[in-house]
Amino acid sequence: MFGMDRNNDKDNVRRGQDPAPYDMEKDPAPYDMEKDTVPQNAGRAPAPRGYFQSLLSKPRKAVSGIVFTGAIVAMLLMSLVFSLTVAVVGVALEMSVEDVMQTEAYKYCAYLLYQIALAAIVAVYMKVYRERPRAFGWRGTHWRFFLIGLALACGLLFSLNWLNDYVIKFFGLIGYEAPASSLPSVQGFGLAGVLLVVAVLPAVFEETVFRGIVLEGIKDVGTVAACLLGGLLFSVFHQSPAQTAYQFVCGAAYTLLAIRAGSLLPAAMMHFVNNALIVLDVRFGFLSGVTGGGAAALYAVSGVCLAAALAWLIFLEKDGGKAGLRFPKKGKEEKVAAEMGGAAAQGVAKPKGAVKPFLLAALPGLILCAVLWIYNFIGGL
């Protein structure tokens, strides 16, 4: 019966054995984790409900890799559907595909496409693993990390904006030309729409995936390794040859900030500021118009901000994030962990060990991104 089977599971767990797999014929009632909690094995993700319990109870690193690959696959499927839709619309309106691609509707949809795919992946993850946003980074942190994030954003954008130019010049030696900007119109109310799809939504959904769900599974491999992985994933995700180096640096910096803060909120703010300043510069040209002594001063100040922010995070905030759990007062651990849900709520130990489980699960997504990167590079020749 239900109670007898679950009591045996508890005995198995105490003896270090795995609980029996969920059997709908012997145990038709859904298992209630709140009333009769069975601790999961250390290093495993929170057990999903019903039929998915045996199938998807993977090590946390593997879950992060699955989420990354799932996001890439979802993006490709949506891109395929979108391309077919554009072709059908072109035929229906007697327009060429090139003409359709020049419309404002197409440009907005092209930017929204990836964010919708990421939002769907996050929603599926939350549904299957029953984790609240707080469990994967959407939690408060000290205000100083937002100031550090602003310094990092300004430092990266102003003092490293030359990085893209050098990469383009390097690739230009073999005939590569970076594609022209495909932003929708930033005139009038269009500016608000562009800020929404280019700055707000990416800051929310990309950070939720990369500095939230994925980082929660890999941050125990070490700060340096996690930052390098974060930079790599963020860079290949965008599949932009011209921005590969800059996006790698940004991804690593966002990851470092999220680890030290124990929250993805400062990184999301940093992401938003970076993208918003680029959009505002396209509209008003206040950055591209700075030359001579003004440009030198801007580079110098932003360089100091970048160096100071990185030095602070690397040397003075080693324990600032407490591995993602920030308990304000002693004795509040259980309450905060219960609010977070997931592994913390069930008393599951943080996963330890190598990054191999993540890489194996993320490898299909990495291969797809690499293929698309090469495709985009060849398209620029």
**Burial of residue 70 (number of CB atoms within 10 Å: 0-12, 13-18, 19+):** buried
How many structural domains comprise the chain? 2
Whether residue 66 is found in the same domain as residue 26 = no
Residues 146 and 277 in one domain: yes
Q: Are residues 106 and 12 in the same domain?
A: no
Is the same domain home to 147 and 6?
A: no
Q: How far apart are CA 105 and CA 37, in angstroms?
A: 50
The residues that bridge with 131 in the sheet, in sequence order, are 341
Token pair recorded at residue 164: 């893209």
Give every CB contact of residue 182 below 8 A, 6+ residues apart in sequence. Answer: 107, 110
Residue 53 lies in a domain: no
* CA gap 374, 352 in Å, rounded: 34
Domain that holds residue 296: 60-325+356-379
Instruction: For residues 6 and 147, state if they share a domain.
Output: no
- Same-domain pairing of 19 and 130: no
* Claim to verify: residue 101 and residue 19 sit in the same structural domain: no
Per-residue pLDDT tens, the chain, 381 aa: give them: 443 444 444 444 444 444 444 444 444 444 343 443 333 444 445 544 544 444 455 678 889 999 999 999 999 999 999 999 999 988 888 888 888 888 999 999 999 999 999 999 999 999 988 889 999 999 999 999 999 999 999 999 888 877 888 888 888 888 888 888 788 999 988 999 999 999 999 999 999 999 999 999 898 888 999 999 999 999 999 989 989 999 999 999 999 999 999 999 999 999 999 999 999 988 888 777 777 777 788 888 888 999 999 999 999 887 654 434 333 344 444 444 444 444 444 444 444 457 888 999 999 999 999 999 999 999 888
Give the phi and the psi of residue 131 in degrees, each rounded to 5: -100, 135
Q: Does residue 144 share a domain with residue 94?
A: yes
In a domain, 338, yes or no: no
Model pTM score: 0.78
| Residue 343: inside a domain | no
10 Å Cβ neighbour count for 42? 14
**Residues 92 and 209 occupy one common structural domain:** yes
Quick one: 91 and 231 in the same domain? yes
